[in-house]
Structure 1
């Protein structure tokens, strides 16, 4: 008589439990902060109308005249970035480091009036972005978010296995049974939203992971390559363009993050005999010259200009466009005004293009309000699935215990499960390491409980 096929349902449930208990709080936080950042284009003009919106005039001040007005208002401040008005109805913006704070300072480009300031790291959108990316605790937070995203993949895969119909009716599988109450209804809500949202959640997890500090950087180094000829004749520094991005502010596109920053002055005649400059920045060109360069090169409005801070630094013109086909990153020599690098969409590789497109879809920017609504729905699905999962656990957990799903210790090796874990370990090394650690801990707990039961019997 043949042996019955072993059931790995409880093993999948056990992994789903561990993944859900770790991932659910992160998913709730990421969904809520994502919704806030998703509607930044609508929220900012409402919340900061007095800073952002101006009445168009007949004549606007040059970038240097605006810079002088701001410097007079913040004589001790160090200006790091300028964002020209994106339209005739918008103010200009300078990013200033003053008194240990980073400030967004807004100026009327027509009258020169300094409209006010905003904490660059503690305004609503900056906080939402920083929480979304690194929990506002730096590298540790970035790694935790990356782990949560990777375990989210485990959650989706194990959830689909648990969801797979085993002779049940479509009710509770494809749609919730609203006539039921209590844990059954919560279970239906969890299973149905999890199923319909599985592919969307995987897309959000994978597209978001491209920005993480560990896996995202390895992914960029592996896939995001530019022709060497683009940089052969450009004097380069050891700094990468990723250093211009922070948790609260995006400056250069993802595709540019692992590219080297050029240096100024290598070919400037005033340096003499090829000597490299040292000390603080002392630009030989004006800020308006850089704006004129951006205009001449047809850079889309919405770009920023990052100012050099050292004698070797460059002006960087960058626009992280809603439509990546309008991306632009230009590095300009601070002494000569020579454009040392001008990288656009056509220079991106296929993987970089696909990544940039997916990131813009992730942020709800690619197709305007339609994309926003679609991502809002995804965020609501994530919230409902996460909250319902926690409610189910809370309702079924034994008093004073976690309520880990029981598992027979004599199950044979689940070959499919092992293959999935190995695949995840290869693709996401940090996640793989944590999966192995949890598996070892789980086995140890099972052995310990088995010994305790044996001792009680004897």
Structure 2
């Protein structure tokens, strides 16, 4: 008598359960915060109309005049960044550090009136971005988000295996059976939404992971390379441009994160090529001169100018453009005004270009409102799939127990499954370590349960 063909359905279901229980809360949070950040261009003018929108005038104050007004209003502050007005209807913005707080200060570029201030870390968009990237708890949050994204890949792959048609009709597979009620309807909503959104979810997970602190940094170091000649004649510090980016504020494009920060030449030869200053920054180049440099070099409006904090630091002009082909990053010597580096789209590697395009698609910026609507639909699909999965679990869980799907019989080694897990472990090391840990705990639980059953039978 032939042995029945072993079914790995329950094993896949078991791993899908573990992945889903961990990932679902993160997916809900990421989808909600992503929607908020997605509509930043529309929300900011509505929420902060009094800070952002101005009536165009005939004469605009220079950047230095605007800076002087801000320094007069906040005499004890330190200015770290200047964002020129995006267009004639918008205000200028300075980022300052005042009494332990980081503030966005808005100024009318025509009258010089200080329009108001905003907590740079606690406004709606900053909070949404910080939650989305690191749960507002720093490195630990970044690693948790990376783990959730990696386990999301496990979730999608195992979900597709579970969804794969096994002789049943298309109803409940390609479209939900809306006439059904209860758990069956929730199951259909979960499976069908997950299937149609699988490729999009994988794109969102992987494109988002390029920003993570562990996997994203390794990915950038591996693939994001620039010609060495670009930096041959530039004194370099031991800092990278990624230091200009924070959880709440994006300054330089992803492609620039692992590039070295240059040193201002007047002090570089005495500094031993270190990034630690012997004194505070005292730029001889004016802010307006840097603005003029950016305009002469056709940097797209929407750029920021980051001021140096040390005697060896540089002024950095950067625009993280909606269309990455307009990206620009310029490092300017604070004493001479010389442009030490000017990096554009044409300098990016092919992988960096593809990654930047992916990031802009992820953020809904590349094709205007069409891209926004598409990403909104993806976020809504993620919400529906996550919530329906939790509802299914809640409805089927045994009272007082987690309800891990049981293995109905002993299985031989599932070579395809093992190969997939090994591939994911190599591709995403943090996920690989956690997979190993969960597998060990799962095996331990199976052994304990098997012994308990054996004792009851004896």
Normalising by structure 2, report the TM-score.
Answer: 0.98
Q: Deviations over 1:106-155 (max 9, x none)?
A: 00000000000000000000000000000000000000000000000000
**1:77-156 paired onto structure 2 within 5 Å:** 77-156=77-156
Q: Please report how far the alpha carbon of residue 409 of structure 1 lies from its aligned counterpart in structure 2 after TM superposition.
A: 5.3
- Measured after TM superposition, the shift of residue 198 of structure 1 is 0.2
Instruction: Please list every run of 5 or more consecutive structure 2 residues that lacks an aligned counterpart in the other structure.
Output: 272-276
Partner in structure 1 of residue 274 of structure 2: none
Q: Residue in 1 aligned with 2:421? A: 421
Aligned residue in 2 for 1:195: 195
What are the superposed Cα offsets for residues 268-310 of structure 1, whole Å, 9 maximum, x if unpaired?
4xx6x94347300111110000000000000000000000110
Is the CA contact 1:189–1:384 (under 8 Å) kept in the aligned structure 2?
Answer: yes
Matches of 2:211 and 2:436 in 1, distance apart? 24
The answer for the alignment partner of 1:346 in structure 2 is 346
Which residue number in structure 1 is paired with residue 62 of structure 2? 62
Between the aligned partners of 1:65 and 1:258, the Cα distance in structure 2 is 34
Residue of structure 2 in register with 1:23 after alignment? 23
What secondary structure does 2:291 align onto? helix
**Within-5 A mapping of 1:164-203:** 164-203=164-203
**Is the aligned partner of 1:301 residue 2:296?**
no
- The superposition leaves residues 236-269 of structure 1 with CA deviations (integer Å, 9 ceiling, x where unpaired) of 000100000000000000000000000002xx4x
Tell me, in whole angstroms, the C-alpha distance in 2 between the residues paired with 1:100 and 1:419: 52
Aligned counterparts of 2:69 and 2:241: Cα–Cα separation in 1:
29
TM (norm. structure 1) is 0.98
Other-structure match for 2:157: 157
Q: What are the equivalent positions in structure 2 for 1:267-278 lying under 5 Å apart? A: 268=266, 274-276=269-271, 278=278
Aligned to 1:439: 439
Q: 1:152, 1:205 within 8 Å by CA — same for their partners in 2? A: yes
Name the CA distance, whole Å, in 1 between partners of 2:140 and 2:323: 31
1:303-322 aligned at under 5 Å gives the runs: 303-322=303-322
SS for the counterpart of 2:270 is coil
Structure-1 residue corresponding to 2:388: 388
CA distance in 1 between counterparts of 2:304 and 2:369 reads: 24
Q: CA deviation at 1:403?
A: 0.4
CA contact 1:149–1:209 (8 Å) conserved in 2: yes
Counterpart Cα distance in 2 of 1:408 and 1:347: 56
Cα distance in structure 1, aligned partners of 2:193 and 2:346: 39
Residues 303-325 of structure 1: CA deviation (Å, up to 9, x unaligned): 00000110000000000000000
- Alignment partner, residue 406 of structure 1: 406
Q: Distance in 2 between matches of 1:388 and 1:243?
A: 40
Q: Alignment partner of 1:80: what SS?
A: strand
Residue 451 of structure 1, CA deviation: 0.3
Residue 409 of structure 1 contacts residue 446 of structure 1 at CA under 8 Å; is this kept in 2? Answer: no
Q: Which whole-Å CA distance do the structure 1 matches of 2:390 and 2:269 have between them?
A: 65
Instruction: Work out the CA distance in 2 between the residues paired with 1:301 and 1:103.
Output: 22
**CA–CA distance in 2 between the matches of 1:185 and 1:274?**
70
Number of corresponding residues: 453
Q: How far is the alpha carbon of 1:456 from its aligned partner?
A: 1.3
Match of residue 255 from structure 1: 255
Q: How far apart in 1 are the matches of 2:24 and 2:60?
A: 50
Distance 2:28 2:269 in 1: 56
Once the two structures are TM-superposed, the CA of residue 410 in structure 1 deviates from its matched residue by 1.8
Q: What secondary structure does 1:305 align onto?
A: strand
Q: 1:33 maps to what in 2?
A: 33
Distance in 1, matches of 2:344 and 2:2, equals 64
What SS does structure 2 have at the residue aligned with 1:94? strand
1:215 is matched with which residue? Answer: 215
- C-alpha separation between the residues in 2 aligned to 1:409 and 1:187? 25
Query: For each residue in 1:37-77, what CA deviation from the matched residue of structure 2 results, as whole angstroms up to 9, or x when unmatched?
Result: 00000000000000000000000000000000000000011
Q: Secondary structure at the match of 1:311?
A: coil
- Aligned-partner SS, 1:406: coil
Structure 2 CA distance, aligned partners of 1:60 and 1:278?
37
The question of whether the paired residues in 2 share the 8 Å contact of 1:242 and 1:257 is answered with yes
Rounded to whole Å, the distance in 1 between the matches of 2:406 and 2:226 is 52
